[in-house]
Structure 1
Amino acid sequence: MNSFFTGRPPGTPGLVLFLNAGDPPLRNLPRLAEALDALGVDCLELAVPFPNSATDGPVIRRSAHRALSDGVDLDRVLAAVERIRPRLRRMRVVLLADWSYTVRPLGIGAFVRRVRDQGADGLLVHGLPPRGRDAYLGAVRETGLPSVTTCYAGSDPAVVARAAAEATAFVYLVAYYGRSGGAGRIDPRSVAAAAAELRKRTDVPIAVGFGVSGAADTERMHRLGADAVVVGSAAVESVERSLAERRDFVHALEDLVRRLRSKPAKSPAPARTGAASSQGKDHRNDHP
């Protein structure tokens, strides 16, 4: 499998944490990123804030509004990424940018080159229209910048196939239709079927998001075929609550990461009769 999530112990799910750049304030990003890196977070999905996202619920929209009100823009976000990237031991930084608000005004080629040159490990373009797809794919191939693609658990087979074919970082498999942080219902069979179809078509990791807020969710998505989980609303809400209560948001996010981690499998007691046997093998992390 493509090893975009480096250093992850075999059989354990990776963790992608989403935050809007600038919420918390960008001056705090170095300390925050280093703390998440030390905890073993595999990827920070850092959004260039944009207004009125059609795919996000009120928690992430409020977060973007706070960042935009503080003057956060692409220049400041890329400068922050460039500062923090050399400090990280293993955590990757994937930039999320909205096509209409951020990418199109700069031009796709110039935008992709800047993202690569200033240190991001990958890119996800939100709202990429069909007319811009070929230019985008050409730009990421030319620069060698890993690309994240998306599809839903209930997407048309052609959409799933395209997401698999075009991903070079990982595929973000959205567990259900709706807005982030909503009360959508996850259909385990649809998630498992989509993950299995993606796995047949690509060797990049499959990261499942929406509806993940604790260790039980992480474990369930892993059993359904996810190589990693994406946690957005729970992370952003943790920051929002900390800011409102004047608490340390770094500690709050560290607590969230610990809650999200799957509980380690307990090793069986060694047999008293001598020779080791296959009874000691743990199958709980096998995919269905």
Structure 2
Amino acid sequence: MPEFFARRRPGRPGLAVFLNAGDPPLDTLPDLTAMLDESEVDCLELAVPFPGSATDGPVVRASAGRALAAGATFRGVLDAVASVRPGLRRLRIALLADWSHTARDTAPADFAAAVRDAGCDGLLLHGVPPRLRAAHYEAVRRAGLPLVTTCYAVSGPDAVAEAADLASAYVYLVAHYGRSGTTAAPNRDRLGAVLTTLRSTASAPVAVGFGIRTARDVARVARLGADAAVVGSAGVARIEEARVLGRDPVEELRSFVRDLRAPVRTDTGQPEEGIDTHDRP
């Protein structure tokens, strides 16, 4: 079973990058994943695009719309993953799929097996009705497919405990409630408290997402106790910018990842990679 974020450099938080499969087009996925691998990104959170997400903001929703308009399908995404996975040395691929749009008409065991057989290293299944979660999670476990679970910084103790108990890939801790790409500042005391709980109870690593846009943001969540940061809308926006300006989306994302990995200055003025001691919680 692959270990997510285990290959990060000592003292540096792991990094996951979210993208909608098909935006940029799927035929760029080999170059895109190779670049992320070379850039020491730990995880590509690759979404099978679906319309009308209630948790995504306009940037991610527009991206999903472009991918769907270009013909991205579940089977096409799995075929693309299968073609690139053997060549990756470091990068893990966690597939994000919406139950209603992607998994609803497939038996849980068959769905989990298809994701596993394509070479995905983990699965985040979005929007599963509560009455069906046990069946899907058991199917994922039986398939030997690591599971990504989610909870919020404002989730109650039971939801946090369930996320910690079921995660075998990583726990995705959403820093604040709302749609992706929004600018609401997380309650850092609350976020830190939930991170402390998860780190003491979960056997899988904990990654924090929503509102992560810069190297300083990555460093801040690391100082609060996160194993990794998940970057979503900010990276998707760079892909869109490249499309509008006629630039290479792979090189645009390479530049963005480089910025995210830039050293953060301490209060003594010295660079310290992955650690932010200037703006303490």
Q: TM-score, normalised by structure 2?
A: 0.93
Whole-Å separation in 2 of the counterparts to 1:139 and 1:263: 42
Instruction: Give 1:105 shift.
Output: 1.3
Aligned residue runs from structure 1 range 215-254, under 5 A: 215-254=215-254
Contact kept in structure 1, 2:264 and 2:276, CA below 8 Å: no
Q: CA deviation at 1:141?
A: 1.3
Identity percentage over the alignment?
53
Hey, what does 1:129 align to over in structure 2? 129
Whole-Å separation in 2 of the counterparts to 1:261 and 1:40? 9
Counterpart CA distance in 1 for 2:150 and 2:12 is 22
**Contact 1:212–1:230 under 8 Å retained in 2:** yes
Residues 1:195 and 2:192 are matched in the alignment: no
SS in 2 for 1:182: coil
Q: Deviations over 1:186-211 (max 9, x none)?
A: 11111101100111111211100011
Q: Does 1:93 align with 2:93?
A: yes
CA contact (8 A) 1:45 1:96 kept: yes
Letter in 2 for 1:196: T
Matched, 1:35 2:39: no
Closer, same or farther: CA 245–283 of 1 in aligned 2, 3 Å? closer
User: How far is the alpha carbon of 1:264 from its aligned partner?
Assistant: 7.0
Please list, as runs of the form range in 1=range in 2, the aligned pairs for 1:53-202 lying within 5 A after superposition: 53-202=53-202
Instruction: Give distance in 2, aligned partners of 1:98 and 1:84.
Output: 22
Are the counterparts in 2 of residues 12 and 285 from structure 1 also a CA contact under 8 Å?
A: no
Residues 40-85 of structure 1, C-alpha deviations (whole Å, 9 max, x = no match): 0000000000000000000000000001001110010000000010
Q: 8 Å contact 1:122–1:145 — kept in the other structure?
A: yes
Q: Over the residues paired in the alignment, what is the CA RMSD in angstroms?
A: 2.1
Contact kept in structure 2, 1:212 and 1:218, CA below 8 Å: yes
Quick check: 1:82–1:118 contact (8 Å CA) kept in 2? yes
4+ residue runs of structure 1 moved beyond 2 angstroms? 282-288
Q: 8 Å contact 2:153–2:176 — kept in the other structure?
A: yes
Q: How far apart are the structure 2 equivalents of 1:105 and 1:190?
A: 38
Separation in structure 2 between the aligned mates of residue 3 and residue 35 of structure 1, nearest angstrom: 20
Structure 1 or 2, whichever has the larger Rg, is 1
Whole-Å separation in 2 of the counterparts to 1:33 and 1:284:
26
Shift of 1:6: 3.0
CA-CA distance at 1:12 after TM superposition: 0.9
Kindly indicate whether residue 36 of structure 2 is the aligned counterpart of residue 47 of structure 1.
Answer: no
Deviation by residue 1:244-268 (Cα, 9 ceiling, x = unmatched) = 11001111101111111151789x9
Number of paired residues? 273
Q: Which blocks of at least 5 consecutive residues in structure 2 are unaligned?
A: none
The aligned amino acid for 1:177 is Y
Equivalents in 1 of 2:108, 2:63: separation in Å?
A: 26
What is residue 205 of structure 1 aligned with on the other side? 205
Between 13-22 and 135-144, the greater mean CA deviation after superposition:
135-144
CA offsets 1:75-122 (integer angstroms, 9 cap, x no match): 100000000101111100000000111011122211100000110000
| Structure-2 separation of matches of 1:220 and 1:124 | 25
- Measured in 2, the distance between the counterparts of 1:38 and 1:283 equals 18
Tell me the SS of whatever aligns to 1:105: coil
Q: Deviations 1:102-160 (Å, cap 9, x if unpaired)?
A: 01112221110000011000000011221111111211111110000000001001000
Contact 1:20 1:63 in 2 (8 A): yes
Amino acid at match of 2:115: V
SS across alignment from 2:7: coil
Q: Give 1:279's aligned residue.
A: none
Q: Please, which runs of 5 or more residues in structure 1 have no aligned partner?
A: 269-281
Residue 11 of structure 2: aligned partner: 11
Q: What is the TM-score of this pair, normalised by structure 1? A: 0.91
Check the 8 A contact 1:218/1:262 in 2, yes or no.
no
- The 3-state SS of whatever aligns with 2:105 is helix
